[in-house]
């Protein structure tokens, strides 16, 4: 049976650091609440002329360079994003062109903050099918352009960034041990950008706020803690992995309180949870992938170590993946 393994990773964090104190549009007495509520101290924003595919390209280029793989030999590109360049075509198509990966199919996945794990799951399934020898998985988000700068409930908490993972085939042993993805469509309006699609087309948008990202914060928190905790139990049981065997847990970097609660509920020591939201904020579908790339680059986990990824986001959606580096 064919398996997939991680050949290389890469990530790109754009622009200069924007600290909480730089968000001058908000009252000074509100600024300390950002860190107090979420742990976020700073984030990065892409340059005005950059779009999501630009960040994706830079992360992918680094990933392929580490692998020493010519882009022309990439067989597939799966891009997770909930902040696409345009409604159509797929943002992945422009990334393919930028890379000169002319032999690769290119497709987008939009599962908001769960997108990175969804894309890994699909790529793993395609490689296991035996039809592909490699697939480049990318997650790229540019939320600074879909957030309302005056909305304190959303704007301070998100940042821009991208990451990539190159999966290759391996007949001997799995690098991705297994993954689980789930959706509860009853929560489809909990996290959304209301305007611009066929439900609320541009000419019908009367409230300018409908062009921007919105979420129901309390519902998101409760959902993330409950489903994030449950799926950890489920995936460890399904693949018969004991908590003590995990080297690192890489959770979606949404809110430090969510991460702390999931650590308690899962019975996994908080010290095993990798956290980078302090400096990047919530990079949505890219957050888990950026963190994984940092874990690999820093040596926080190495060859043979088992790493657990877990994410939750709009849809409502959630997922987990067990990886052996």
Catalytic site residue from 44, 110, 113, 255: 113
What's the CA gap between 190 and 228, in Å, rounded? Answer: 17
Same fold: 3-172 with 177-324 = yes
What's the CA gap between 75 and 102, in Å, rounded? Answer: 9
* Mean pLDDT of the region 114-129: 97
Token duo for residue 319: 């997922």
What's the CA gap between 245 and 305, in Å, rounded? Answer: 8
**Is 282 one of the catalytic residues?**
yes
Catalytic site residue from 20, 134, 255, 282: 282
In this predicted structure, what is the pLDDT of residue 117?
Answer: 98
pLDDT in tens, 213-266: 999 989 999 999 999 999 999 999 999 999 999 999 999 999 999 999 999 999
SS3 251: strand
In this predicted structure, what is the pLDDT of residue 50?
Answer: 97
What's the CA gap between 181 and 195, in Å, rounded? Answer: 27
Task: Fill in the DSSP letter of residue 136.
Answer: E
**Is 279 one of the catalytic residues?**
no
In this predicted structure, what is the pLDDT of residue 1?
Answer: 77
pTM here is 0.96
Q: Do 296 and 9 meet the contact criterion of CB atoms below 8 Å apart?
A: yes
CATH topology classification for 3-172: Peroxisomal Thiolase; Chain A, domain 1 (3.40.47)
In this predicted structure, what is the pLDDT of residue 172?
Answer: 82
Token duo for residue 148: 């309302």
SS3 32: helix
Structural domain 177-324, CATH architecture: 3-Layer(aba) Sandwich (3.40)
In this predicted structure, what is the pLDDT of residue 158?
Answer: 97
Q: Do 23 and 156 meet the contact criterion of CB atoms below 8 Å apart?
A: yes
Token duo for residue 218: 């309390």
What's the CA gap between 199 and 290, in Å, rounded? Answer: 32
- Is the preceding peptide bond at 322 cis, omega within 30 degrees of 0? no
**Residue ranges of domains in the chain:** 3-172, 177-324
* Mean pLDDT of the region 50-69: 98
- Residues paired with 164 in a beta bridge: 10, 138
Classify residue 117 as exposed, middle or buried by CB count within 10 Å of its CB (0-12, 13-18, 19+). buried
pLDDT in tens, 202-215: 999 999 999 999 99
pLDDT over 90 (residue 71): yes
Q: Do 50 and 83 meet the contact criterion of CB atoms below 8 Å apart?
A: no
**Is 113 one of the catalytic residues?**
yes
Q: Do 247 and 298 meet the contact criterion of CB atoms below 8 Å apart?
A: no
Catalytic site residue from 3, 11, 12, 252: 252
Task: Fill in the DSSP letter of residue 273.
Answer: B
């Amino acid at each position: 049976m064919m398996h997939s393994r991680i050949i290389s990773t890469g990530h790109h964090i754009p622009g200069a650091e924007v600290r909480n104190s730089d968000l001058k549009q908000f009252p000074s007495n509100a600024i300390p609440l950002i860190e107090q509520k979420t742990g976020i101290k700073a984030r990065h924003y892409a340059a005005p002329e950059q779009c999501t595919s630009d960040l994706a390209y830079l992360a992918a280029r680094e990933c392929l360079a580490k692998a020493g793989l010519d882009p022309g030999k990439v067989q597939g590109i799966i891009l997770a994003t909930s902040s696409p360049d345009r409604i159509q075509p797929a943002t992945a198509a422009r990334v393919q062109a930028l890379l000169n990966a002319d032999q690769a199919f290119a497709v987008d996945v939009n599962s908001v903050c769960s997108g990175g794990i969804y894309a890994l799951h699909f790529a793993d399934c395609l490689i296991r099918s035996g039809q592909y020898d490699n697939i480049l998985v990318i997650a790229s988000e540019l939320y600074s352009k879909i957030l309302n700068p005056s909305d304190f409930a959303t704007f301070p908490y998100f940042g821009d960034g991208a990451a990539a993972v190159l999966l290759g085939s391996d007949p001997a042993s799995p690098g991705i041990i297994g993954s689980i993805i789930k959706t509860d469509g009853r929560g489809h309006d909990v996290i959304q950008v209301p305007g611009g699609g066929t439900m609320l087309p541009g000419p019908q948008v009367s409230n300018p706020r409908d062009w921007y990202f919105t979420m129901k914060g309390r519902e998101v928190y409760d959902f993330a803690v409950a489903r994030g905790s449950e799926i950890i139990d489920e995936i460890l049981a399904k693949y018969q992995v004991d908590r003590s065997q995990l080297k690192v847990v890489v959770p979606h970097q949404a809110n430090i309180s969510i991460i702390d609660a999931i650590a308690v509920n899962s019975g996994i020591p908080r010290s095993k949870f990798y956290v980078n939201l302090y400096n990047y904020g919530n990079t949505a579908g890219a957050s888990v992938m950026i963190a994984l790339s940092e874990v690999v680059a820093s040596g926080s986990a190495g060859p043979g170590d088992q790493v657990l990824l877990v994410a939750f986001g709009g849809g409502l959606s959630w997922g987990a993946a067990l990886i052996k580096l």
